[in-house]
Amino acid sequence: MTKRPASCGAFCRWPIIKKEKPVTANLQLQLAAAATLAQWHGLMQGNDLSRLPELLHPQAVFRSPMAFKPYVGAPMVSLILNTVSKVFVDFAYHRELGTADGLSVVLEFSARVGERELKGIDMIRFDEAGKIVEFEVMIRPMSGLQALGDEMGRRLAPFLAAAKGV
């Protein structure tokens, strides 16, 4: 059994990988999905999601790591993803995995929210036309997820209340 270095303490931090091109191993996506994924990466690298609605199916679904009930509709999905892109600091994708049908990807990422580091995955499903139909996010550790939830709640509270008719 390998011992953890003393300098590591009780918990080792994962290495923060500087912004670089995501690692892929011949990711075989359908052409329309590949084009949309390339556009998604371009939007994220430029930190400008103003063109995001063009990539979303009108009935796109966002599944949050903080809520059980999904958010439905391109305007809501766009609002959430635009907001989170402003909350994350030092955001970078690291690995991409694809499904056999060429219509889904899993993107591993790291970021910070305030002083909290986090890692996560974006699971994105495309339709045959390349539109994003589902976007699901998972995040760890809990402290990073809580920091993200607090900040997203603060920024989105007025919009979510209006959407619910409160």
Q: What is the pLDDT of residues 70-110, one digit of tens each?
A: 999 999 999 999 999 999 999 999 999 999 999 999 999 99
pLDDT digits (tens, 9 = 90+) for 3-59: 444 554 444 454 544 555 555 556 799 999 999 999 999 999 998 999 999 999 999
The span from the CA of 150 to the CA of 121, in Å, is: 19
Nearest to 152 by CA among 90, 73, 49, 80: 80
Q: Which of 123, 121, 126, 124 is nearest to 109 (CA)?
A: 121
Residue with tokens 């499903």: 125
Q: Collect all residues with Cβ–Cβ distance below 8 Å to 116 and sequence separation of at least 6.
A: 143, 144, 146, 147, 148
CATH architecture entry for 17-164: Roll (3.10)
Q: What are the sequence ranges of the domains in the chain?
A: 17-164
Instruction: Count the residues in the chain.
Output: 166
Packed helices 74-87 and 142-164: angle between N→C axes, nearest 10 degrees: 140
- pLDDT for 150 beyond 90: yes
